[in-house]
A and B are shown apart, each in its own frame.
Chain A
Amino acid sequence: MKLFFASDVHGSERCFLKFINAGRYYGADVLVLGGDITGKALVPIVRGPNGAYRAEFLGDAVTAATAAELGELQRLIRFNGHYPLVVTPDELAGLRASPEAQAAAFRRVMRETLARWLDVAAERLDGRGTRCLVMPGNDDDPDIDDIIASSPAVENPHDRVVELGDGLVLAGSAYSNTTPWRAPRELPEADLAAHLEGLCARVGDFGRAVLCTHVPPYESGLDSAPAVDSGLNLRASAGQPRLIAAGSRAVRAVIEARQPLLALHGHIHEGRGFCRLGRTLCINPGSDYAAGILRGAWVTIEGGRVRGFQLVAG
């Protein structure tokens, strides 16, 4: 069985479309998206009285005079993992004035975008026999879970043990340990440990299990992230970002204790790499969604063993 894993597309439409095509491209039987699907930024495009549109894109003022230009602008915004939102000046003022309105706008656009993506996934995966698992991550609002659940093309493995075939199962967890950003799906380490124990209790043979936790194990080399202060400023020393291990101790403990066949992770975009914790191969493909690069990993599992794997940048 060949499995393709990617994570942290963060609203990049280009990366999601590449992910859907990865099955065909790499000959994968199973596609797994490991979390943090939704974007972080909303770009208002203001409709002016003369029919032209204005926005701020990549720090500069932009105008789009025609429908074609508007379409191009929206496409480039989505390329960067942002959400374009056409508004009137009054609507923009309303958004500026109300954090609740901003949150509501985010939720609406996220849901619409994800629904559209999953429609494309259904269309492209139809008849191919490729299994597609889409798991949210710590940054994804639980609001999107029903969108994933309603799609005929994908499954959500969060807090589930999914049969992959050939006797293999995948156990997924979208949670991360706590971060300075207080994202929607975070748990303190003790609670995360309890959650993982509950998940693992439903796995029979860890020798034939793939553990997919959004957050990587602590001090694995897959979790080196720049440290930030309370103001979310990068902490630096002599001009270099200070790197810390941001992974989860609970995840590490579970892997070391249970020794699954394979462990797949995302969350730390800079943590691209692989390592072994005991006999478990742990992989974090990293993320470069803002450049439209889909970082992933394909893994071939045969006879209860990992026969081959490769980190790719598609």
Chain B
Amino acid sequence: MNMTSGGRHQERLPAIGTFVRPATGLVRGMGGTQALIYNTMITTLLLGAALTYLWAPYAFPGCNVALGIVCTGVFGAMMMTAYSMLAATMPRSGGDYVFQSRILHPAVAFAAVGSGFMIWLMFWQALGGWMVAVMGISPLMLMLGATLGSPVLENLGRWAATPHGVVVVSLLSFCVSAAVCAVGVRAYLRLQKWLLAGIMLTFALVWALLLTTPQAEFAARFNAFMAGFSPAADYYQHVIAAAREAGFAAAPVAGGAGFGGINWGATFGVMPIAWTALAWTMWSIMNAGEIKNAGRLRLQLLQTLGALALNTGLLAVTAVLLAHSMGADFLAAMGQLYYSGSEALAEFPVPPYFGVLASIAAGHPALIFFILLGFVLNGVQILIGMCLGGSRVMMAMSFDRVLPDALADVSPRLRTPLNAILAYHAGAVAWVLLYNYTAVGAFTLSVTLASMVTYMFTSLAAALLPFREREMYLGSPVGRLRILGVPAITVFGIASLLFNLAITYYFLTADRLFVNDVRSEALIGAIFVLCLVYYFARRAYLKRRGINIDLAFAQIPPE
């Protein structure tokens, strides 16, 4: 049977079409723009950007941050394509849990998704709370205090960045996220446009500042700001000099010995950090309708890849502008001193993420407010978005009886899965305490590594789909796509798997990402194994009650 796209067919044959009768549920799918916006905004943009710009030069001296972000987007596109193709074969159900349980094994699905997208998603709550406090409220209060001459605000800002302060701010933020999730998705969607507007305003203001602030002017403003905290006459040069004294060699980010003058080894090292921001653009609910066709697949690809491209561009351009305005050496030195815990930076009042540096460049209280407000809003967005995703996963697992039935209960008054939302936040509280009072706080990027496990299993599911679910594969628009004779979904699944393995390699070998600590690796491994053990224990328990949870996923033969 010859299947060709209309454009490649040798003769122009008139279109035949399909006749569709009026039937419930046949809708015109959601417009591409809508889902593209959602996928663009669901990412942890400001958090990931802030971490990347400061951490990458420390972890991988000599890296070209902007190019590293672009590489992340390019290679990450493999994973987004694999996800889009999987969604095209299962347009109604979708999601890592269904993909893995159907194609691999339900125990694997529960362990990978239960750990990566349930338990570690609760970790994101702790990270979101931290972001609200340390990247948002703390610098906001402190910068306003310094600018307006208010010691009260300054002290509040300092307190908000302490472990106690972060915990309090996080718990208060959880009240907001729990309340919004309890009221329902509609409340979040109404709030979301304001959150997104605030985040975009931050980017817009930062770009405007960076474009209009030459390096010498930034240095002057920076020094003027630091005059209130340090006797050093030129704190800008002090930062660079201190980093050099600490052994930081300001290796060129371009014009060096590598191919094209780029230090590629270091530049690729940016990917694990940048992936923390960019890995989320497949999160939209792909409601492309029931009539599968190539157009729907193209739309889904546009939505995921388009969002990835937009976010990659946003982060990369910001990186270029930061280096242009503030100086690449200065930024790298800041990261070096901050992440090494150097005393040379002790006088700098807050963690020097780019929002703070941009606020220093801004100088005006109103600009400071709106720049740093975006970080607060992104933190709140993370909290709500992760809760909605995590509680949905819990509900799905509860419907399968893998998790207790009570987690699927919907509040008769609020019509939301209140039990799942509360359970999710209970787990998040545990993470907040661990993150802020124990060594877990050093393993921030463990959350990305833990997600890699989920992504890798889904990538494997994509690669194996044509062989494990042949009929489903052939009956979908993906079934006709091949690359050099190999099913395209297999190619992209393997490419995605290799990309995630490469990221994992960096995490396990790069000391300065702080993840290749035996405690971090043990934590990730232990949670995965715990989920696996729980699955089999639950299976045994239900079997004694006459329920075989393997049947939840086992395929009935049609013959």
Q: Provide the main secondary structure of the chain A interface.
A: mixed
A17 to B108, CA, bound (A): 28
Residues of B within 8 A of A (CB): 1-6, 9, 13, 15-31, 34-39, 41, 89-93, 98, 102, 185-186, 189-190, 192-193, 196, 284-285, 287, 289-296, 395, 399-401, 408-410, 415, 471-472, 474-477, 479-480, 545-549, 551-559
Decide if A311 is an interface residue (CB 8 Å cutoff). Answer: yes
Give min CB distance, B351 to chain A, whole Å: 30
Decide if A257 is an interface residue (CB 8 Å cutoff). Answer: no
Question: Contact flags (1/0) for A122-147 with B, using CB distance below 8 Å?
Answer: 00000000000000001100000000
The 8 A-B residue pairs with the shortest CB-CB distance in the complex, in nearest-first order: A239-B38, A59-B293, A314-B556, A59-B294, A79-B475, A17-B558, A69-B1, A221-B410
Which of A79, A275, A288, A312 touches B552 (beta carbons < 8 Å)?
A: A312
Task: Report yes or no: A243 in contact with B185, Cβ–Cβ below 8 A.
Answer: yes
A102 to B290, CA, bound (A): 21
Q: A95, A181, A220 — which one has the most chain B CB atoms within 10 A of its CB? A: A181
Q: A63, A181, A312 — which one has the most chain B CB atoms within 10 A of its CB? A: A312
Which of B30, B395, B556 touches A18 (beta carbons < 8 Å)?
A: B556
A102 to B17, CA, bound (A): 13
A44 to B17, CA, bound (A): 7
Given contacts A80-B475, A241-B287, contact A314 B554 (CB under 8 A): yes
A308 to B477, CA, bound (A): 38
Which of A183, A238, A272 touches B192 (beta carbons < 8 Å)?
A: A238
Known contacts A58-B292, A239-B41; 6 additional CB pairs below 8 A are A17-B558, A41-B20, A139-B24, A228-B27, A239-B36, A241-B30
Give min CB distance, B198 to chain A, whole Å: 14
Task: Report yes or no: B559 in contact with A219, Cβ–Cβ below 8 A.
Answer: no
Question: Contact flags (1/0) for A35-61 with B, using CB distance below 8 Å?
Answer: 010001111101000000011111111
Which of B22, B27, B190 touches A234 (beta carbons < 8 Å)?
A: B27
Decide if A21 is an interface residue (CB 8 Å cutoff). Answer: yes
B3 surroundings in chain A (CB, below 8 A): 57, 60-63
A273 to B476, CA, bound (A): 26
Residues of A within 8 A of B (CB): 10, 14, 17-18, 21-22, 25-26, 36, 40-44, 46, 54-65, 69, 72-73, 76, 79-82, 92, 95-96, 102-103, 105-106, 138-139, 176, 179, 181-183, 219-221, 225-226, 228, 231-234, 236-243, 245, 267, 269-270, 272-275, 286-288, 290-294, 298, 300, 307-308, 310-314
Task: Report yes or no: A18 in contact with B558, Cβ–Cβ below 8 A.
Answer: yes
Task: Report yes or no: A241 in contact with B90, Cβ–Cβ below 8 A.
Answer: no
B290 surroundings in chain A (CB, below 8 A): 10, 40, 81, 269, 290
With both beta carbons as reference points, the residue of chain A lying nearest to B410 in the complex is identified as A221
A288 surroundings in chain B (CB, below 8 A): 90, 92-93
Task: Report yes or no: A310 in contact with B549, Cβ–Cβ below 8 A.
Answer: yes
Task: Report yes or no: A56 in contact with B90, Cβ–Cβ below 8 A.
Answer: no
Which of A138, A228, A239, A286 touches B35 (beta carbons < 8 Å)?
A: A239
A280 to B474, CA, bound (A): 41
With both beta carbons as reference points, the residue of chain B lying nearest to A285 in the complex is identified as B399
With both beta carbons as reference points, the residue of chain A lying nearest to B190 in the complex is identified as A237
With both beta carbons as reference points, the residue of chain B lying nearest to A219 in the complex is identified as B415
Task: Report yes or no: B23 in contact with A102, Cβ–Cβ below 8 A.
Answer: no
Q: Provide the main secondary structure of the chain B interface.
A: loop
A62 surroundings in chain B (CB, below 8 A): 1-4
B31 surroundings in chain A (CB, below 8 A): 233, 236
11 residue pairs bridging A and B, Cβ less than 8 Å apart: A63-B4, A69-B1, A102-B21, A183-B23, A238-B34, A242-B189, A292-B472, A293-B555, A300-B546, A310-B401, A310-B547
Task: Report yes or no: A61 in contact with B28, Cβ–Cβ below 8 A.
Answer: no
Given contacts A237-B189, A238-B189, A308-B547, contact A176 B24 (CB under 8 A): yes
A225 surroundings in chain B (CB, below 8 A): 25
B9 surroundings in chain A (CB, below 8 A): 61
Given contacts A25-B556, A56-B18, A79-B471, contact A274 B408 (CB under 8 A): yes
Given contacts A275-B410, A292-B472, contact A56 B295 (CB under 8 A): no
Which of A65, A102, A183 touches B19 (beta carbons < 8 Å)?
A: A102
B34 surroundings in chain A (CB, below 8 A): 236, 238-240
Give min CB distance, A86 to chain B, whole Å: 12
A76 surroundings in chain B (CB, below 8 A): 474-475, 479
Task: Report yes or no: A54 in contact with B471, Cβ–Cβ below 8 A.
Answer: no
Give min CB distance, B420 to chain A, whole Å: 12
B401 surroundings in chain A (CB, below 8 A): 310-311
Which of B36, B89, B92, B479 touches A269 (beta carbons < 8 Å)?
A: B92
Give min CB distance, B89 to chain A, whole Å: 6
Task: Report yes or no: A42 in contact with B19, Cβ–Cβ below 8 A.
Answer: yes
Which of B2, B21, B22, B555 touches A63 (beta carbons < 8 Å)?
A: B2
A236 to B287, CA, bound (A): 10
Task: Report yes or no: B292 in contact with A80, Cβ–Cβ below 8 A.
Answer: yes
Given contacts A54-B16, A219-B415, A291-B90, contact A310 B21 (CB under 8 A): no
Task: Report yes or no: B37 in contact with A44, Cβ–Cβ below 8 A.
Answer: no
A54 to B289, CA, bound (A): 25
A241 surroundings in chain B (CB, below 8 A): 30, 285, 287
A181 to B22, CA, bound (A): 6
Give min CB distance, B122 to chain A, whole Å: 22
A21 to B554, CA, bound (A): 13
Give min CB distance, A230 to chain B, whole Å: 12
Which of B19, B35, B395 touches A44 (beta carbons < 8 Å)?
A: B19
Give min CB distance, A223 to chain B, whole Å: 10
A22 to B20, CA, bound (A): 30
Give min CB distance, B315 to chain A, whole Å: 20
Which of B1, B474, B477, B546 touches A59 (beta carbons < 8 Å)?
A: B477
